[in-house]
Structure 1
Amino acid sequence: MLVLNKQFFVDSLLSMAELAEEQRDHWTKLDSDIGDGDHGINLSIGFRAVAKQLETLDFESTDIASLYKKVGMTLLSKVGGASGPLYGSFFMKAGTHLDGEHEVDFKQFTQMIQDGVDAIAFRGKASLGDKTMLDAFLPGLEVLSHSDLENEPLASFEAFVARMKLGSDETIPLICKKGRAVRLGERAIGHRDPGSESAWMLMNVYLEQLRKIV
């Protein structure tokens, strides 16, 4: 089975920081349509802080659990709005069971994502259809659960990200049931949930890194 080392995760996180800068205005525009208009700004600030933390990382001694705890704590402390607690929880939970591990196999990697999404669901108290990032994550994970992780890791993750992207599309006709956009009622219809957009794009960073090594 495909093995992912610590460098894979560091490279992915640095690329996520670049993505957050590139997509800052796009994510903020989506959020300004139905929310506070700070989603892109907050994530760019948060991942900028993550990248700065990675510059001083003691690479040899830091295991994956510690790496992801550091990322999660940074996002929790630096990012305002809903995205900080949600993405912070995602990264912290994703590394929970990896104490002492400096590499993981592909099945462990997908479990990291599952654990992270569980933390988002617990923290946000949201369900499928509530017009949140879970509308991207949950259908994607369902596809991943039926994939051949051992023999087709890249195809499995491509299908996961594609379904997440479709899930983001599927938030457009929904009424929002969580967050500030609840007050808009039917006026939220026709607008994409910004969290679902950033979610699939961030997971797509992992996919881009996988394509470099598979």
Structure 2
Amino acid sequence: MDSHQIVDLFRVIARRLAEARAELGALDGAIGDADHGNSMADGFAAVVRASAEAATRGSDVGDLFVVAGRSFLNAVGATTGPLYASALLRAGQRFAGQKTLAIADLPDLLAAFAAGISDRGKARPGDKTMMDVWGPAARAAEQPGPPRDRMARALRAAEDGRDATRTMVASVGRAARLGERSLGHVDPGAASAVIVIAALQEGLAHHLAQDRP
């Protein structure tokens, strides 16, 4: 996949998050300030604009993720901005200097995203955050197999992680102020992480279908 095809992946993510803007806002409204849907949709819309311009200028894949990370941070404040900026910047480090991203390496994006978010946010499993999705998804994607199978396993693990946050009490972030009242609610960051991973799987499937003779 070249830089323009990576931009196409970003477009799928941005489109799915835009479609889920209201749903994510409602989830966040139950335990936060109701802005998570706007933050994610606006952040990835900014990523598409900036990365498309960078691809047109001839940026390689690694640089494209760096541009994406900086644009997300510029567009989104609060907690989500630095977390996804760190995810995208870590992907930039992982694929630094590469003109293309091999299809077999696409699932490795999940490990890069998870590492960037974990290092920045310091959340642990069970804290009721997006790391309850990114951690299991990254581990599932590391298992050997064709990229389509690895992404499918990652998405299943992500969905299980998202659903598990309903049974958790938030211990970090704004939701932690609610204590036991956060129990029974899906974490909005976990929900949006599943959307991102599902969009990556969708983009992968579309790319593979285009390459099929």
- Does residue 44 in structure 1 map to residue 13 in structure 2? no
- How far residue 55 of structure 1 moved from its aligned partner, in angstroms, is 4.2
Asked if the contact 2:28–2:34 (Cα under 8 Å) also holds between the matched residues in 1, the reply is yes
Runs of 4+ in structure 1 over 6 Å off: none
With structure 2 as the length reference, what TM-score do the two structures score?
0.91
5 Å matches for 1:53-132?
A: 53-59=50-56, 61-132=58-129
Deviation at 1:100, TM superposition (A): 2.5
Shift of 1:56: 2.6
Q: 1:147 aligns with which of 127, 144, 150?
A: 144
Structure holding more helix per residue: 2
Matches of 1:71 and 1:213, distance apart in 2: 20
Cα RMSD after superposing both structures = 1.6
TM-score of the pair, normalised by structure 1: 0.91
In structure 2, the partner of 1:211 is 205
- Whether 1:28 and 2:25 are equivalent positions in the alignment is yes
Give 2:176's aligned amino acid. V
Deviations 1:74-133 (A, max 9, x none): 111110221111111101111113232121224533333212211111111101110001
Aligned residues: 208
Q: Identity over aligned residues, as a percent? A: 31
The CA distance in 1 between the partners of 2:41 and 2:140, in whole Å, is 29
User: Any idea what SS the aligned residue of 1:211 has?
Assistant: helix
* Structure 2 unpaired stretches of 5+: 209-213
Gaps of 5+ in 1: none
> Which whole-Å CA distance do the structure 2 matches of 1:71 and 1:7 have between them?
13
The residue number in structure 2 matching 1:137 is 134
In 1, are the aligned partners of 2:110 and 2:141 still within 8 Å (CA)? no
Partner of 1:174 in structure 2? 168
Q: Classify the secondary structure of the residue corresponding to 1:56.
A: helix
